[in-house]
C-alpha cells in the first residue's frame, strides 16, 4: 500500500503546471490591488474607526474607491454593516427593482438563502412588493443564449440575474468568458436591461470581474474571497454609479446613502485582508485542485475534474450515501485549527429547505475563504469544499480525510 504522504506529494507534483497558471493570475491581480492602494494614498489614518453617524469616514470612503479601482467599475460600496453575501445581494435587488418589474435568473434556480428573499410570502420579499420572478435554465453548462434573447425580445425585463457560483447544485460555476459573452447577448437585444451578478466565491479567480466585462452591478461577501481571511465581517457592491447609489439608499436611507455608517473597531483588517486577497484565493484554488486530483484518482466524482481550471474556490465531491457525506464533513472539522474537537451534525439552518451540515473551524465565524465544507442532506450527496488560508492546511486536511476515511487501500 502506498504511503499517504507519498501519494499526496505525487499528486501535488502532477499539478505543477496548473499551479503555475494560478500563481500567474494571482500576481496580475495583486499588481492591480497594490497600484490601487498607492494611487489612493492609503495611510495609517485610514485604519481608524468612527462612531455615531460616521460622517467623513475617510477609511470607509477610501476603501470604497479602492474596490472600484480594482474591480474596474464606476463606484463601489464596502461596508461592515452588510452582514453577508445574501444581504449584499438583497440590498441590490430591493434597491434597484420596483413594483411590477421582472427579475429573470438566467443561471437556473437561485441559491437557497435567496428563495425567500425573492419568492417568500408575507415576509417582505420581492413578491410581496409586486416584483415578478422567473428563470431560464442553463443548457449544457452554459447560458441558453437563444432562450434568453427570445425572452428579452418579447417581454420587458428590468433585471437579469446571474449566479456565478454553483450553489448546492452539481454543476460547473460560470466563467468570466461565459459572463462576458452573455452580457453582449443581453445588451444587443435589450440595452436597458440591468445585468446583476452574484459574485460570491468568484472574486480574483480570473484577472477580470463581471463588472469589467459588461455586468452593471455585482455583490459579494467580505468573509469570502475579497476579505483575504482577515476581514471580520462585511460585504460589497460594485458597478455603475446609478445602481450603486440606489443600493446605498437601501443600505441606509434615501438621500443619505453612503454618507453615513460608522465602524468603531477600525478598518485595518479590511484593508489588510483585501490587500492579500489575491494570494489567499490562489492558496484556496490550489488546495481545491489537490483535493479534486487526489480524490479523482481514488475513484470519486468531483467538480471541477482532475486538473481542470477552477472557476470559483469550490470543489464538489460526490458520495454514495448521506453517512459518507457527513463523515467527510466531520473529518474536515477535525482537521481545523479552531474547534477541531467539535463534531458537526446536520441541522435546520435558517434560510435552507433541507437540513445542512457545516464544517468550519474558522478564525472568523463562517468564513468560507477559510477551509470549510458544507452540504444539504439530500441526494445527490455532494460535499462542497471551499477555502483554505494556506495550501499547507488544505494539504494536511486531505491527509486527514484519506487516513480517517480509509480511502487509500
- Model confidence pLDDT, tens digit, residues 171-206: 899 999 999 999 999 999 999 999 999 999 999 999
Q: Is the pLDDT of residue 129 over 70?
A: yes
Task: Find all residues with CB under 8 Å of 44, minimum gap 6, and list them.
Answer: none
Picking from 4, 15, 5, 9, the residue whose alpha carbon sits closest to that of residue 285 is 15
Residue-level pLDDT at 391: 98
d(CA 166, CA 112): 11
Mean pLDDT of all residues in 4-12: 96
140-168 average pLDDT score: 96
The pLDDT-based confidence of 352 (bands split at 50, 70, 90) is: confident
b/e burial code for range 130-168 (CB count within 10 A of at least 16 → b): ebbbeebebeeeebbbeebbebbeeeebbbbbbbbbbbb
Let me know how many helices (H) and strands (E) the chain has, helices first: 12, 12
Radius of gyration for the alpha carbons in the chain, expressed in angstroms and rounded: 21
* C-alpha span between 351 and 213 (Å, rounded): 31
Average pLDDT over residues 344-372: 91
Find out whether 108 and 169 touch, Cβ atoms under 8 Å: yes
- CA nearest 136: which of 154, 113, 117, 116? 154
Residues 6 or more apart whose Cβ sits within 8 Å of residue 227: 221, 234, 270, 273, 274, 277, 364, 367, 369
pLDDT at 262 over 80: yes
Tell me the average pLDDT across 256-274: 97
What's the CATH architecture for 4-28+277-404? Answer: Alpha-Beta Complex (3.90)
Q: Stretch 320-348: mean pLDDT, rounded?
A: 95
Confidence (pLDDT) at 371: 97
Residue whose grid cell is 427579475:
103
Of 77-91, 111-125, 198-212, 381-395, the poorest mean pLDDT is in 111-125
Confidence check: pLDDT of 169 > 80: yes
How confident is the model at residue 66, as a pLDDT? 98
307 CB-near residues (< 8 Å, 6+ apart): 14, 15, 18, 289, 293
How sure is the predictor about 246, in pLDDT bands with cuts at 50, 70 and 90? very high
Rounded to whole angstroms, the maximal C-alpha distance in the chain is 68
pLDDT for res 349: 80
Residue environment code for 393-403, b if the CB has 16+ CB neighbours within 10 A, otherwise e = bbbbbbbbbbe
**Mean pLDDT estimate for the chain:** 96
Residue 208 is predicted with a pLDDT of: 98
The confidence score (pLDDT) of residue 409 equals 72
Query: Does residue 112 have a pLDDT over 90?
Result: no
Cell of 391: 495550501
Q: Which three cell numbers stand for residue 399?
A: 491527509
Residues 7-14: what's their mean pLDDT? 97
What is the rounded average pLDDT of the residues 275-289? 98
Burial degree of 19 (CB within 10 A; 0-12, 13-18, 19+): middle
Q: Is 351's pLDDT higher than 90?
A: no
Domain residue spans of the chain: 4-28+277-404, 48-271
Instruction: Assess whether the previous peptide bond of 380 is cis (omega < 30° from 0).
Output: yes
Note the pLDDT of residue 293.
98
Helix axis angle, 322-334 to 391-404, nearest 10°: 130
Which numeric CATH code is attached to 48-271?
A: 3.40.640.10
Query: Which DSSP string do the residues of 43-91 spell out, in sequence order?
Result: -GGGG----TT-TT-HHHHHHHHHHHHHHTSSEEEEETT--SHHHHHHH
Amino acid at each position: 500500500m502506498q504511503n499517504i504522504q507519498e501519494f499526496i506529494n505525487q499528486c501535488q507534483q502532477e499539478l505543477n503546471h496548473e499551479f503555475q497558471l494560478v500563481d500567474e493570475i494571482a500576481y496580475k491581480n495583486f499588481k492591480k490591488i497594490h497600484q490601487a492602494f498607492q494611487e489612493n494614498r492609503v495611510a495609517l489614518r485610514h485604519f481608524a474607526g468612527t462612531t455615531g453617524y460616521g460622517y467623513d469616514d475617510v477609511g470607509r470612503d477610501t476603501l470604497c474607491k479602492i474596490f472600484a479601482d480594482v474591480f474596474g467599475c464606476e463606484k463601489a460600496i464596502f461596508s461592515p454593516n452588510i452582514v453577508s453575501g445574501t444581504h449584499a445581494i438583497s440590498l441590490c435587488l430591493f434597491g434597484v427593482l420596483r413594483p411590477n418589474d421582472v427579475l429573470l435568473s438566467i443561471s437556473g434556480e437561485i441559491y437557497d438563502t435567496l428563495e425567500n428573499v425573492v419568492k417568500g410570502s408575507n415576509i417582505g420579499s420581492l413578491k410581496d412588493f409586486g416584483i415578478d420572478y422567473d428563470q431560464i435554465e442553463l443548457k449544457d453548462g452554459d447560458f441558453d443564449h437563444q432562450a434568453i434573447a427570445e425572452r428579452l425580445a418579447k417581454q420587458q425585463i428590468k433585471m437579469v440575474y446571474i449566479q456565478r457560483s454553483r450553489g448546492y447544485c452539481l454543476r460547473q460555476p460560470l466563467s468570466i468568458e461565459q459572463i462576458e459573452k452573455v452580457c453582449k447577448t443581453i445588451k444587443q437585444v435589450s440595452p436597458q436591461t440591468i445585468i446583476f451578478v452574484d459574485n460570491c466565491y468568484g472574486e480574483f479567480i480570473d484577472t477580470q470581474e463581471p463588472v469589467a466585462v459588461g455586468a452593471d452591478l455585482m455583490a459579494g461577501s467580505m468573509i469570502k474571497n475579497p476579505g483575504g481571511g482577515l476581514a471580520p465581517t462585511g460585504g460589497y457592491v460594485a458597478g455603475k454609479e446609478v445602481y450603486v447609489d440606489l443600493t446605498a439608499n437601501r443600505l441606509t436611507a434615501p438621500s443619505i446613502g453612503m454618507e453615513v455608517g460608522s465602524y468603531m473597531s477600525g478598518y485595518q483588517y479590511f484593508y489588510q485582508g483585501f490587500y492579500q486577497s489575491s494570494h489567499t484565493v490562489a492558496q484556496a484554488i490550489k488546495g481545491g485542485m489537490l483535493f479534486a486530483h487526489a480524490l479523482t484518482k481514488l475513484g470519486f466524482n468531483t467538480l471541477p475534474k482532475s486538473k481542470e481550471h477552477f472557476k470559483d474556490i469550490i470543489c464538489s465531491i460526490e458520495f454514495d450515501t448521506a453517512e459518507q457525506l457527513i463523515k467527510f464533513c466531520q473529518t474536515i472539522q477535525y482537521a481545523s485549527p479552531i474547534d477541531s474537537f467539535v463534531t458537526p451534525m446536520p441541522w435546520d439552518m435558517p434560510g435552507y429547505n433541507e437540513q445542512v451540515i457545516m464544517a468550519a473551524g474558522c478564525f472568523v465565524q463562517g468564513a468560507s475563504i477559510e477551509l470549510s465544507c458544507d452540504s444539504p442532506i439530500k441526494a445527490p450527496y455532494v460535499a462542497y469544499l471551499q477555502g483554505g488560508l494556506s495550501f499547507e492546511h488544505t494539504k494536511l486536511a486531505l491527509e486527514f480525510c484519506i487516513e480517517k476515511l480509509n480511502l487509500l487501500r
